[in-house]
Structure 1
Amino acid sequence: MTGYESYNDQELTELLRLGDRTAFGEIYARHIAYLYRFAFHIIRDEEECTDAIQDVFTWFWENREKLHITNLKAYLTAAVKYKLTRVIVASKRKEAIFCREIPVEVMSQSDDLAVKELRTVINDFVQTLPPRAKEIYLLSREQFFSNKEIAARLGISEKTVENQMTITLRKLRVYLGKLSFWSIFYKIFPAAWGIAPLNVPNNV
């Protein structure tokens, strides 16, 4: 017993960011069984599941200071899922894996968690924007105003709106790229967010 069992995930994440190895161990112990079951439902190979999860936790520790997490289980689930995406694409068994029926509750739950966590990551980024850039982004992406409508509303040129959005989306791609597996989510589902695919690092 380390005494860390009483900490919630948010408290453990904050300790992890400070380099607390015991907190990291507790996070691993708390979530490893669920993550393995989740991975095995998808890929049905013990060694590949174990390797994928170990890679995720290695990345998780090495990048602990950069993490922006509000739901740890969602974050880890999404990381494992998109690590498995790489494994499946490279696998000789990919046709068999894709053809096998994966329980709907497994995929729908993980997708829902991933989207919620991604929205939180994006919201964190938006809060760092200058006031005018933030206002333009929110009008465009959350209220679905056209560039012309935003320009009229704010009393600026349509070209200014376009330039501001280009700069903001470029910054967002860089921001997500630093968080590694979220950039994979954007690469796979860019249309859902109105953002061009990213150049994704291979060391997820």
Structure 2
Amino acid sequence: MSTYTAHSDHELILLIRQHNRAAFEQLYHRYAEGLYRYAFNILKDEAECADAIQEIFVWFWANRESLEVSEPGAYLRTAVKYRLTRSIQNSRRRAEILASQAATPEQFTDDSLEVKQLREVISAVVAALPDRSARIFHLSRNEYRSNREIAAELGISEKTVENQMTIVLRKLRIALGKMHFWSTLL
């Protein structure tokens, strides 16, 4: 039994920022199952849901020092929501998944305030990128091209594409982590 079960979410976040692994594990145990159920209700794929939840918590731990989180439950749920939205957009099962969610289409609307704000931040970060980096990001995230396809089109190596995407995604994470609204939404 964890010694952190009686701690509030706020206390856990403060301890996590100090690299307290046991506090992070308590936060994980507090929210992971509910997040998994939420994801499974949408994707209906155990492995994909488990991967999504794992990815969110790994990112959370890796960025623990810079996160400004007041409500970790809402933060994690919204992070999962965006992760699932990205998965659905790139999925071959997109039509099937969206059809099964017909009763709750608001989960995937592109005109929600959160999505608009997220797009604004992404646009600002991409606008500040060098032309080639912005082009690579566009081909990857908007046209859903593979690294191989991007490399062939631009006449560069796949490794260069991977490196550029890593840099761009890191910049996006930093920008999103610093945004005040992000901490209240997520």
* TM-score in same-fold range (> 0.5): yes
Taking structure 2 as the reference length, what is the TM-score of the superposition?
Answer: 0.58
- Distance in 1 (CA, whole Å) between partners of 2:75 and 2:48 is 20
In 2, are the aligned partners of 1:16 and 1:23 still within 8 Å (CA)?
Answer: yes
Equivalent residue for 1:40? 40
Shift in Å at residue 9 of structure 1?
Answer: 0.6
| 8 Å Cα contact 1:18/1:65 also seen in 2 | yes
Is contact 1:176–1:182 with CA below 8 Å preserved after alignment? no
Deviation at 1:89, TM superposition (A): 1.4
User: Structure 1: how far apart are the matches of 2:5 and 2:106?
Assistant: 26
CA drift at 1:17: 0.7
| 1:39/1:84 contact within 8 Å kept | yes
Partner of 1:8: 8
Check 1:106–1:7 CA distance in 2 against 1; reply closer, same or farther (3 A cut). farther
Residues 106 and 8 from structure 1, CA distance in 2 versus in 1: closer, same or farther, beyond 3 angstroms?
Answer: farther
Question: Displacement of 1:28 after TM fit?
Answer: 0.5
Per the alignment, residue 86 of structure 1 pairs with 86
Corresponding residue of 2:174:
178
TM-fit CA distance, 1:93: 0.3
Q: Counterpart amino acid of 1:26?
A: Q
CA distance in 2, matches of 1:17, 1:2: 18
Which of the pair has more CA radius of gyration?
1
1:17 and 1:10 map into 2 onto residues whose CA distance is 11
- Match for 2:79: what amino acid? A
Classify the secondary structure of the residue corresponding to 2:68: coil
Query: Contact 2:31 / 2:73 at 8 angstroms: preserved in 1?
Result: yes
Conserved? CA contact 1:36–1:50, under 8 Å = yes
Where 1:5 maps in the other structure, the secondary structure is coil
Task: Answer whether contact 2:66 2:177 (CA < 8 A) is retained.
Answer: no
Which residue does 1:29 correspond to in 2?
A: 29
* Letter of the structure 1 residue corresponding to residue 33 of structure 2: A
Q: How far is 1:103 from its partner?
A: 5.3
Per the TM alignment, residue 104 of structure 1 is displaced from its structure 2 partner at its CA by 3.8
Cα shift at 1:86: 1.5
Aligned partner letter, 2:72: L
TM-score (norm 1): 0.53
- Map of 1:117-196 to 2, 5 A cutoff? 177-178=173-174, 180=176
The one-letter amino acid of 2:42's match is I
1:110-153: CA deviations, max 9, x gaps? xx9x95xx8xxxxxxxxxxxxxxxxxxxxxxxxxxxxxxxxxxx
Per the TM alignment, residue 105 of structure 1 is displaced from its structure 2 partner at its CA by 11
Structure 1: distance between partners of 2:60 and 2:3: 22
The one of the two structures with greater contact order (alpha-carbon pairs below 8 A, sep at least 6) is 2
